Structure 1
Amino acid sequence: MFVTNYIKMNKLIKNYVSLSQLKLNIITNYISKLWTNLLSFLLVPIYLYYLGIEAYGLIGAFYTITSFINLLDLGLGTTLNREVALRNSTIESKTTIPNLLKTAEIIYWCMSVALIILLVLLTPIISTQWLKADKLNSETIHWAVVILGFTIAIRWAITPYKSTLIGLEKQVSLNIFECLIITLRDLGGIAILLWVSRTIVFFLFWQGLIAVIEVFLFVILAWQNLPIKNIQARFEIKIIQQIWQFAMTVNWTTLVSLLLTQLDKILLSKFVSLEKFGYYAIAYTLASSIITIFQPFMVAISPHLTILIAQGKIDKLKYAFHKSSLFITILITPIATVFIFFAPTVLEIWTHSPEVITQASEPLRLLSFGILMGSMIQVQYLLQLAIGKPQIYALFGTFSVLFATPMFFLLLPRFELIGAAIIWAILNTVYYLLFSRITHFYILPNEYLRWLFQDTLIPMIICFTVSFINFQLQSYFPEIQIISIGIVTVINYGLLFLWYKYQIKSMLISSQNRKLKI
């Protein structure tokens, strides 16, 4: 009896420790992301003031054009995250993590050098033949592109160290470090603009310098946090042979994701001026803040789902899936509805620019709606990665690219910013309706209806209804518009919190009833 009780208590303690670590990771992820977003929210208007909309558009356009460089990752970043989490779950496999990191490290540094060479060769084409500038001279654009290329290449080498830390669930140390680096980079950038030079070249030079410091410190942080430190790590071809198939499938999904998320901006940077692209970049930056709201949670839950599947705990997996999906819906829907219904007011608060309000309001509405729809399926994508079947997303995404590409070429020349945002909204709505259904044919097939209604649709209907009523009432009380937006956001979060508590209680009761039947 004593032995039985001891075993049960030991299991309970282990579960508590695991849960505490997961919660700690989530909390620190959110603190880090909150600080990052706060800096961005406060500093972007300052960047616009000192650098101008064209320089801001140049930075956004360059990152968009070079986003396809991520394909050189070959899916290794995501694969490394998953492999570290799997190997760290058993004592025997922990000894292989140093060799895994060393192998990935050498691959990434080789690619980083190749990337620098590639971007140097592409600089003349990007700076003279692709980007359209009215106010920035050609020499400024050239050096800006050179420095941005170097910064991207040097930060490329961070991926294996960051993926390792996430897989080890060392996200507390990771978040503290990233907060310090981002603070130094962003506040230092403002100092450069205020006291050194108000030019984009000096501003970007500081970003590149911080990137060098960042990658150096990441190397130290990752190796110091390995579970096994007294092993001489070495490069192993065998490791590549073990993971290459999964990595290539992930790379396929990366290609699809890049095409779906960047094609609008790549084509816009060609069809419209840098000034107009700057307006779209502002709308997209604000809309994509919806993603940053739940991204810290996704980073924390990913290795947790992988471990549950590896240990065969299907009931816990179902609970984690629904709880995570519902949590994301509740987290982002009130903010998304504010962007959708009150875009001009939000842009006025943020930028104080009449031109930005005029040009970016409608794209912000459509982009926010699209991102809201696309965010609902993110936990399902994590499940696919956890079970080693990302090809479901890859196949669906491939068909989506084939549908979206001609639509972009058809609508962008005529409707420009609005056309790009409309396609984005339609595409993500199709993902919400069809991709989710296809996923549940293969994974947790009996959980689809609960996910569709309880986890996503009902919370969205609640928020949209409350926001629409407030939107209609604002025409009668325009003087309290900002206050009413704050009130309706609090109401939405309050209602969704009650819905969340009710659903969690319902799932726990259902789980207990199943155990009693057994």
Structure 2
Amino acid sequence: MPLWIFKSNLLKILSNYIGKIWNLISVFLFVPLYIHYLGVENYAVIGLYSLILALISFADAGMSSAVTKEFSFEGNKIYYKLNILKKLEVLYGGVLVIIFFIILASSSFITKKWLSTDSINFNDLRNYIILIGLGCSIQMIATLYSGAMFGLGKQVEANFYQIVWTTCKSLLVVLLFALINSSLYIFFIWQIICNIFYILLLRIHVMRSLSYGDIITPPNFERKIPNHVLKYIGGMTLVAIISAISSQIDKLIVSYYYSLEIFGYYNVVSVLSQIPVFIAIPLASFMFPLLVKYKEDKLIFESIAKKFIFSLYLIIIPAAILLMFYSIEFLDVWTKLNFSGRENTFKILSQSLIGGSLFLAMQFPFYYILLANGKTKYTIIQGFFQLIIGVPLLLYFSSNYGIQYIGFSWLTINFLGFLFVSHICLKYYLKNIKGFYIWKTYIFIPFLITLFISGFGYYFYDLMRFNFIFVSIISFILIFFINLFITNVVEGRGVFDVKYLYDFY
């Protein structure tokens, strides 16, 4: 392949990672500042923003991924893409307006019956819920335009806009705290303002990108959403609802059974545990359009899928296991919260949540392989059984063993989900790739190497009290390159061949 294609692919992957890394860095930078200015209990209210945003994400119903899918296909004309976008804008916008009014109508109930707080008065907390509903509803529409930009191959630009948006809404609000007042009203109103400008910026870019080429609509063109798109959205709706509930049910239960302060602590641990997922999302965002583009060429499709699995697991397995070893150390340095006397509780909680997130991130290649083939029924089945198993487990651990064991439900359902979705993909959609080979080469061997080096490093850290961040970085680098070298040798490449990681053709 030409060098410029390698560079283009690498640039897109890097831009995805830079965007997501900046999101992650902004969380690690600004969460301690939010806690400093607002306190743990008020920070927990900010956590409700993330919770409600995740819960109403079902409103997307696959519309953003449908746009990405349709815009990625080179055979679709510009006028067809414009029609799809405009029709989905109306549909998406209508759904989000309804959701906002539902949140508005239920704000008093949520404040009075669901949340428990001693320091925030009823009216303020209710107003916060209303502002959260408005901010989340506005923010959701951005996924439609972001999906369009990814489908058009404008990943670098989309990530640049996301970085600017994240910086404005995260950094500038801290300046407002310092200059005006450390109030949640300032926080939520500023989020709404930033969301509005972000949407306008994305939409302007998308419409400009679609203003060239065959934009004149033929007279016989049917101006409605195509049936195959509606079918895809219909299948994704149930997937989105199940996914939203299963991924956030733990926070719903913690926010109901425990005080806002405990929910604040749980939310901090939960954010740390999502790092494997944060790592997986950028690569998945790059890979999905490629999988769609080459779904008819099974040889290339399977090659891309195999490299997707290898590249992702090479990073997330050591990252997750190192996080498990040093979870309390990271929490101490990051938040400056007092975990004294609670170390064992939050160690167990963080390790189980990180393990669950690792198995969730490991599902990403198989999930997007199914989406590229337009198959949503397996994800629906998976999500349905995860709810049936996960909710009773969550309630059992919560009521009988306390908050430290709540994460075992998350770990269990994602491990079982990984087994299911990987089996389906390898059996029906990656028939030329041996399941045993994937397990042995990409999972089992990297796990063993990671556990050995991580355990060895942690032993010396505990014995000599080295800087744990330095030990973690050295351990990760060693694990990464040892696993890469071993796989290269097994698959007949040069020992130092790294081009394989970004040459997806």
Q: TM-score, normalised by structure 2?
A: 0.91
Q: What is the rounded CA distance, in whole Å, between the counterparts of 1:444 and 1:266 in structure 2?
A: 37
In structure 1, the residue corresponding to 2:402 is in which secondary structure? helix
Q: CA 1:17–1:317 in 2, change beyond 3 Å: closer, same or farther? A: farther
* Aligned: 1:297 with 2:277: no
Matching residue within 496, 499, 515 for 2:486:
499
Matching residue within 87, 90, 109 for 1:106:
90
* Aligned: 1:476 with 2:463: yes
Q: Deviations over 1:42-64 (max 9, x none)?
A: 11111111111111112213432
Q: What is the rounded CA distance, in whole Å, between the counterparts of 1:297 and 1:503 in structure 2?
A: 24
* Aligned: 1:272 with 2:255: no
Equivalences, count: 490
Q: What is the rounded CA distance, in whole Å, between the counterparts of 1:32 and 1:390 in structure 2?
A: 28
Q: Which residue of 2 aligns with 1:283?
A: 269
Structure 1 residue 337, shift from structure 2 partner: 1.4
Q: Deviations over 1:184-228 (max 9, x none)?
A: 111111111111111112122111111111112121011111274
Q: CA 1:385–1:481 in 2, change beyond 3 Å: closer, same or farther? A: closer
Consecutive unaligned residues in structure 1, runs of 5 or more: 1-11, 509-518
Q: Which has the higher helix share?
A: 1
Q: Which residue of 2 aligns with 1:256?
A: 242
In structure 1, the residue corresponding to 2:120 is in which secondary structure? coil
Greater shift, 355-364 or 97-106, is seen at: 355-364
Q: CA 1:503–1:154 in 2, change beyond 3 Å: closer, same or farther? A: farther
Q: CA 1:185–1:505 in 2, change beyond 3 Å: closer, same or farther? A: farther
* Contact 2:441–2:487 under 8 Å retained in 1: no
Q: CA 1:229–1:55 in 2, change beyond 3 Å: closer, same or farther? A: farther
Q: Deviations over 1:304-337 (max 9, x none)?
A: 011011xx32222222111111111111222211
* Contact 1:116–1:153 under 8 Å retained in 2: yes
* Aligned: 1:200 with 2:184: yes
* Aligned: 1:46 with 2:33: yes
Greater shift, 434-443 or 65-74, is seen at: 65-74
Structure 1 residue 17, shift from structure 2 partner: 5.6
* Contact 1:319–1:507 under 8 Å retained in 2: no
* Aligned: 1:169 with 2:156: no
Matching residue within 309, 313, 316 for 1:332:
316
Q: Which residue of 2 aligns with 1:226?
A: 210
Q: What is the rounded CA distance, in whole Å, between the counterparts of 2:155 and 2:454 in structure 1?
A: 35
In structure 1, the residue corresponding to 2:210 is in which secondary structure? coil
Q: What is the rounded CA distance, in whole Å, between the counterparts of 1:354 and 1:134 in structure 2?
A: 20
Q: What is the rounded CA distance, in whole Å, between the counterparts of 1:504 and 1:38 in structure 2?
A: 35
Which runs of structure 2 are paired with 1:422-437 in the superposition (5 Å)? 422-437=408-423
Q: Which residue of 1 aligns with 2:19?
A: 32
Structure 1 residue 467, shift from structure 2 partner: 0.9
* Aligned: 1:244 with 2:230: yes
Greater shift, 227-236 or 163-172, is seen at: 227-236
Q: What is the rounded CA distance, in whole Å, between the counterparts of 1:427 and 1:327 in structure 2?
A: 24
Q: Which residue of 2 aligns with 1:3?
A: none
Greater shift, 60-69 or 176-185, is seen at: 60-69
Q: CA 1:371–1:365 in 2, change beyond 3 Å: closer, same or farther? A: same
* Contact 2:449–2:479 under 8 Å retained in 1: yes
* Contact 1:376–1:456 under 8 Å retained in 2: no
**Percent pairwise identity:** 22
In structure 1, the residue corresponding to 2:462 is in which secondary structure? coil
Q: Which residue of 1 aligns with 2:109?
A: 125
Structure 1 residue 481, shift from structure 2 partner: 4.1
Structure 1 residue 360, shift from structure 2 partner: 3.1
Greater shift, 331-340 or 112-121, is seen at: 112-121
Q: Which residue of 2 aligns with 1:513?
A: none
Q: What is the rounded CA distance, in whole Å, between the counterparts of 1:118 and 1:339 in structure 2?
A: 39
Q: What is the rounded CA distance, in whole Å, between the counterparts of 2:94 and 2:419 in structure 1?
A: 41
Q: What is the rounded CA distance, in whole Å, between the counterparts of 1:229 and 1:437 in structure 2?
A: 43
Structure 1 residue 282, shift from structure 2 partner: 0.6
* Contact 1:407–1:423 under 8 Å retained in 2: yes
* Aligned: 1:178 with 2:162: yes
Greater shift, 143-152 or 438-447, is seen at: 438-447
Structure 1 residue 108, shift from structure 2 partner: 1.9
Consecutive unaligned residues in structure 2, runs of 5 or more: 496-505
Structure 1 residue 150, shift from structure 2 partner: 1.0
Q: What is the rounded CA distance, in whole Å, between the counterparts of 2:151 and 2:475 in structure 1?
A: 38
